[in-house]
């Protein structure tokens, strides 16, 4: 056994009202991290995630800083408890920002401001009810790509998240996504419209790319202390300019999650820890390769379990 560990950071979709409440009662660090974020944002982020309303938390402009802070808070608890240092990090979409912060490439306050701007630019790029995303279950990647190409004469629809074998998320114009759902269902697949209004990672995000590129040009990025596998190239970047470029391109290019996990397994990783609210990524990793150990940290019990299991491999 190689006993290599990778930390995974979740993105949008894992947020819930009341998340991390139990951990915050035992570890003051959680509220400290959210207080730092709140100072940057100029509103009480902790109050929002604890009290809602759900609709407000689910707005992209609030979800992105909330998930960033959640991942960073759990990581800081892990390190304060003497948890094993991972050989690699990565994150799903927005979660990649948590990885860069925890790998000491981005300062937390800078990252909070960056994802707030990122969310605003994404929201501005596509008017409400014009864009949509849907999960397609039960088709091969190439089948999803082929159907998207067939439909692109009537609007944009693209595969944007390759999450697991037989699970691909598409995004684009709502009418084109609706047609994708209909066609997938006709050939026996399951297709589900996602409760979002922003078609992330597709070409409709080009206006956001232009604005975000200008914004990112002025922030400080340094070489990471832990290797981070990026979403866009399934590559490890150490050069700050390469990191900056990949974060810009991530906005309108797909998340290659299956390739990322397989890359890490090929590097000798046999244990994955999802760091932050929810268990979405843990489920995806198990669908990609059932032979690896997959853990999540989102409350006291899951933290203690992860510490106990990884302690044996130190």
* C-beta of residue 52 within 8 angstroms of C-beta of residue 19: no
Clarify whether 173 is annotated catalytic: no
Burial of 212 per CB tally in 10 Å (0-12, 13-18, 19+) = buried
Clarify whether 93 is annotated catalytic: yes
Provide CB contacts within 8 A for 149, sequence distance 6+: none
Catalytic residue among 201, 253, 296, 302: 201
Provide the CA 67 distance to its chain's centre, in angstroms.
8
- CA nearest neighbour of 19 among 309, 310, 302, 253: 302
Tokens linked to 239:
């050069």
Catalytic residue among 14, 93, 105, 200: 93
CA distances in angstroms from 78 to 21, 73, 194, 195, 301, listed in the order given: 16, 9, 32, 32, 13
Tokens linked to 234:
């399934």
Residues with a known catalytic role: 93, 201
């Amino acid at each position: 056994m190689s006993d290599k560990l990778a930390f995974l950071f979740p993105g949008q979709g894992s947020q819930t009202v009341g998340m991390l409440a139990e951990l915050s009662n035992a570890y003051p660090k959680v509220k400290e991290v959210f207080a730092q974020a709140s100072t940057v944002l100029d509103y009480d982020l902790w109050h929002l995630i604890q009290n809602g309303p759900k609709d407000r938390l689910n707005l992209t402009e609030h979800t992105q800083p909330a998930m960033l802070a959640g991942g960073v808070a759990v990581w800081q608890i892990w390190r304060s408890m003497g948890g094993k240092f991972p050989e690699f990090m990565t994150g799903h979409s927005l979660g990649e920002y948590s990885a860069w912060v925890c790998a000491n490439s981005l300062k937390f306050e800078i990252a909070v401001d960056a994802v707030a701007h990122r969310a605003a630019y994404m929201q501005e790029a596509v008017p409400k009810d014009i864009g949509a995303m849907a999960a397609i279950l039960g088709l091969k990647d190439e089948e999803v790509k082929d159907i998207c190409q067939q439909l692109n004469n009537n609007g944009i629809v693209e595969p944007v998240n390759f999450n697991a074998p037989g699970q691909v998320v598409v995004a684009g114009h709502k009418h084109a996504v609706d047609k994708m759902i209909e066609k997938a269902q006709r050939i026996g697949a399951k297709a589900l419209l996602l409760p979002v209004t922003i078609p992330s990672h597709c070409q409709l995000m080009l206006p956001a790319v232009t604005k975000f590129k200008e914004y990112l040009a002025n922030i400080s990025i340094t070489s990471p202390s832990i290797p981070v596998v990026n979403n866009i190239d399934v590559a490890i970047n150490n050069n700050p300019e390469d990191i900056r470029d990949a974060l810009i391109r991530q906005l309108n290019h797909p998340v290659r999650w299956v390739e990322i996990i397989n890359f890490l397994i090929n590097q000798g990783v046999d244990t994955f820890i999802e760091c932050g609210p929810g268990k979405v990524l843990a489920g995806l990793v198990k669908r990609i390769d059932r032979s690896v150990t997959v853990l999540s940290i989102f409350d006291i019990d899951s933290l203690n379990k992860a510490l106990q299991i990884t302690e044996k491999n130190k």
